[in-house]
Amino acid sequence: MTDLQIIGSEEWCIFENLGIPAIKARVDSGAKTSSIQATNIKVVNRGAQEWVKFEVNPLQENRSITIPCEAKLVDRRMVKSSSGISEERLVVRTLVKMGEHKFDLELTLANRDTMEFRMLLGREALMDRFIVNPAESFQVQSFTDDEVNKKYAPFYKEKTGLKIGLLASNPNLYSNKRIMEAAEARGHEIVFLNAELAYMKLDAHSPEIRYRGGNILKEYDAVIPRIKPAVTFYGCALIRQFNTLGVYCQNSAEAISQSRDKLFSSQLFAKNDIHIPITGFAKSPMDTKDLIKMVNGAPLIIKLLESTQGKGVVLAETNKAAESVINAFKSVNTNILVQEFIKEANGQDIRCFVINGKVVASMQRQAEKGEFRANIHQGGKASIIKITPEERKLAQKAAKVLNLAVAGVDIIRSNKGPLLLEVNSSPGLEGIENATGKDLANAMIVAIEKKLRFHN
């Protein structure tokens, strides 16, 4: 017993094989296995042996130093988190150095829980080596702040770009992948933020945004909101919070929420002398007949107030059909608008991509045979189109009225001239980049640089 070394409640560990020069561990005899905070965990096969690639932020309250690590995978274990949910944790084995002691250590990769300490040293590591004196710290070896800083000096990246957050839901979407790619290519740091995993502290003195696990999101220069319709309400609250924290948001919460409300945005367009197809809206089914007459009768279009990808857009061919569809929606308290059908468009519409007030790309969409909706999701085919100066002006004005820095503006060609159909605040990139060959993701990042007067 007597030749066991005494250790304190916190100690420095060195992992030469992982490339971690020093990491402070909480000695935790309550835990069997040791654990380390790890993100971006990936299992890779090397012959018969499985390895794990992961990243460690070894310093407390410092996410700017990230060390990419690799170690042998030795086990997968189910652990119960404090909230009672079981999840799989990977266990790796690697060499640790603590003062004169060098030994193989099993480490659980803890990817989610908030860890004040980036590492816990459990019983297995202590057994037959150390005796814990919880009243003391750094009994094995101790480093001054200066020494720690020196060890980490090579890891400090010189900050050359902006720090951008992509506030969205699915990192695998074409548009999101392209935006991440474009920001990185221009030398910025971009972080994918799942809107539903962020939460806020509302406080006059120290407002915050935190992320699942407890990290505080700070030092962001800009946020690109790509909020899906299902999370508009919460996403916009987050954007306002980023704004409060002084972060530039490429589209504002106000602009996004008003563009999502087809009735409200139609009112804004009408008020600003932007031509739209004749549109009616009524609360009561008592007036349905007159509502139909008001938009010049069938065939007419019925639209759910909040819809995308053409899913909530219906063509009613006769007055009778229109009346029953309208009243059916009303009987389930669904808000709809009724609109004159632009037959002469022949299933075509025009999508203009507007950035900072300019149309930067445009395409024509042609509906599938037998379909009037030109949406790509409804089988529409895209092609390049040269828009008229009038259409360009219409698109730019619509984006301006809604105060959107990035907008997808849909226009339909009618006998009365171009009419505005709607404006999208998170226009998709795939269809229009493929059709036009333009790098719109790059244009979005350049637009942020311009707004922030950033020069590299």
Ligand X SMILES: Nc1ncnc2c1ncn2[C@@H]1O[C@H](COP(=O)(O)OP(=O)(O)OP(=O)(O)O)[C@@H](O)[C@H]1O
- Binding residues for Mg ion, per CB under 5 A? 308, 410, 422
Q: Report whether 275 contacts 317 (CB < 8 A).
A: no
**Residues 259, 262, 265, 269, Cα dihedral to 10°:** 130
349 binds, among Mg ion, ligand X, none (CB under 5 to 8 A by kind): ligand X
Q: Report whether 410 contacts 350 (CB < 8 A).
A: yes
223 binds, among ligand X, Mg ion, none (CB under 5 to 8 A by kind): none
Which span (97-105, 288-296, 368-376, 382-390) binds ligand X, by CB under 6 A?
Answer: 368-376
Q: What is the 3-state secondary structure (H, E, C) of 411-443?
A: EEEECCEEEEEEEECCCCCHHHHHHHCCCHHHH
Q: Total number of residues binding ligand X (CB under 6 A)?
A: 24
Q: Does 258 bind ligand X (CB under 6 A)?
A: no
Considering only 91, 268, 374, 404, the residue that binds ligand X (CB under 6 A) is 374
Q: Does 431 bind ligand X (CB under 6 A)?
A: no
Taking Cα atoms as reference points, which of 279, 260, 237, 196 lies closest to residue 423?
260
Residue 417 bridge partners (DSSP): 414
Closer to ligand X by Cβ: residue 108 or 425: 425
Residues 38-67 touching ligand X, rule: CB under 6 A, are none
**Measured distance CA(98)–CA(198) in Å, rounded:** 37
Closer to ligand X by Cβ: residue 25 or 342: 342
Closer to Mg ion by Cβ: residue 33 or 232: 232
Q: Does 350 bind ligand X (CB under 6 A)?
A: no
Closer to ligand X by Cβ: residue 98 or 404: 404
Q: Does 309 bind ligand X (CB under 6 A)?
A: yes
94 binds, among Mg ion, ligand X, none (CB under 5 to 8 A by kind): none
Alpha carbon distances (Å) from 88 to 78, 105, 128, 154, 270? 4, 19, 29, 34, 56
339 binds, among Mg ion, ligand X, none (CB under 5 to 8 A by kind): ligand X
Q: Does 373 bind ligand X (CB under 6 A)?
A: yes
Closer to ligand X by Cβ: residue 11 or 410: 410
Closer to ligand X by Cβ: residue 222 or 354: 354
Written as one letter, the residue type at 111 is: N
Residues 310-339 touching ligand X, rule: CB under 6 A, are 310-313, 339
For residue 299, whether the previous peptide bond is cis, meaning omega lies within 30 degrees of 0, is: yes
Closer to ligand X by Cβ: residue 52 or 313: 313
Q: Report whether 7 contacts 131 (CB < 8 A).
A: yes
243 binds, among Mg ion, ligand X, none (CB under 5 to 8 A by kind): none
> CB count, 10 Å around CB of 108?
21
Token pair for residue 156?
């400090």
Written as one letter, the residue type at 118 is: R
Which span (26-34, 186-194, 234-242, 305-313) binds ligand X, by CB under 6 A?
Answer: 305-313
Q: Can you give the C-alpha Rg of the chain in angstroms?
A: 29
Considering only 308, 396, 403, 442, the residue that binds ligand X (CB under 6 A) is 308
**Measured distance CA(452)–CA(356) in Å, rounded:** 13
Q: Report whether 374 contacts 367 (CB < 8 A).
A: yes
Interface ranges with ligand X (CB under 6 A)? 277, 301, 303, 307-313, 339, 341-342, 345, 349, 372-375, 410, 412, 421-422, 424
